[in-house]
Structure 1
């Protein structure tokens, strides 16, 4: 059976790209380019990352980068993988404490580099780091009796939850810290705006929640207690699924 041809960016991430055997040794490589791009993103945000800015960071002509990254989109794919830390070690832990730690670590590293949130996830993980995160979470579910498809769906759901919570926390932190006159800055401001616009006849349940200060809670929506509440619900669902096996 013939081997599946790898997309160029995947081959580069895994060191599977064929290099010329003759000629001078290249003065540049993909890891060096990606490190420079991540430095720029950490410093200036994702808007600061262009092929020209990365080339300037490593001291080469812009066109030189295209030998290693075929496009900016390719570069962003490699950056997202390289910027991820190693996943938490499994260390023989049971699935629930491990996935609690795993999901929390996932959220935290996204918050540590908010530019990753701007990238979104438009394709399944395919790089060495991101696939290690997937592998470790699946390994934690080894003895649960779930089938492979169920395990992957669980990990996908937890990944999405971590990203959504990181996005919410970052947005609230940014608006709360701003000095502008944004009336929706923070959850208290958001709750106040909802109080003004909601019609109890059209939105009875939401109106009741707002009036009961469901969003306000001293503006602490981004605290770990809120994150843990949602994660507990998800993991309770996983536990119920396992118990039905």
Structure 2
């Protein structure tokens, strides 16, 4: 019983610390001066360096989803609905969530490990002594870059996955390029795209905040760095699913589904 009470207290304490960390982020974000060069560097690292992994995963995801869905639709004589079904499934749910999980694993762990290493080697303390605002330079730039770049990665993932679906459709059948994309765009609407796009901003923000929080508050030397990287991935991935659940409920209430 005491063990579970201790876990509960530890959980609530960490939730409070993350809340305070997020509040500090917004305070620092609106203070001058902005670290624009570091922000661009983080955008390059978060976006460009992650694109190959996201693109390859999206392509395989679209291809496999199409191949696996085709036999079921053939049984009902509805194989002509395959492009529409695959595109709506990818854009609404699969592509944004998978992209966010990939970013949580790559970006979240990278931030946790990098900032954790800087903390345990006292580089962050040295920045404070030299008059630099480490929170502004290290945290704000990374969180904003992740928030901005993840929607872009998600949109590129949508396009690549749908193209993979085109190849999947033509493995067992034949659908022309023009007919395939006509069916895709006829099936999609702004009610599919906009909620999907909006929630990716929250995915990116959550991944950035958790990765930076875990690294910035890393303790216990090199062992703490590993724990920070691992826990950043776990917590960020869990938050992605929680945010997605909330987003689905809101879009359902607003009549987008």
TM range (shorter): 0.3 to 0.5
| TM-score, length basis structure 1 | 0.39
| TM-score, length basis structure 2 | 0.38
More RCO (CA 8 Å, sep 6+): 2
The structure number with the bigger radius of gyration is: 1
The structure whose residues are more often helix, as a share, is 2
